Amino acid sequence: MGATMTAVPDWLIPPEGGFTADDLDDMPGLPPHTELIDGSLVFMSPQKYFHSLAVDLLAYRLRSGCPAHLRVVREMSVVLGAHDRPEPDVSVVRAQAVSESGDETGYQAQDVALAVEVVSPDPVQRDRDTKPRKYAEAGVPHFWRWRRGRGDGLSSTSSSSNRRPGRTCPPVSSTTG
- How confident is the model over 115-158, as pLDDT tens digits? 999 886 655 566 667 888 899 999 999 999 887 776 655 665 55
Winning range, highest mean pLDDT, from 88-92, 133-137, 159-163 = 88-92
Which of 29-33, 88-92, 162-166 has the weakest average pLDDT? 162-166
121-129 long-range contacts (CB < 8 A, ≥24 apart) are: 122/44, 122/45, 123/42, 123/44, 126/37, 126/42
Is the pLDDT confidence value at 165 over 60?
no
The answer to whether 81 touches 59, Cβ cutoff 8 Å, is: no
Residues belonging to the chain:
177
| Beta-carbon count within 10 A of 108 CB | 16
SS3 for 98?
A: coil
Task: Tell me the C-alpha distance between 166 and 148, whole Å.
Answer: 29
**pLDDT over 60 (residue 168):** no
- Mean of the per-residue pLDDT values of the chain: 82
Record the pTM. 0.79
Q: 144: burial class by Cβ within 10 Å (0-12, 13-18, 19+)?
A: buried
Q: Which domains does the chain have, with CATH numbers?
A: 48-78+88-161 (3.90.1570.10)
More confident of the two residues 71 and 175: 71
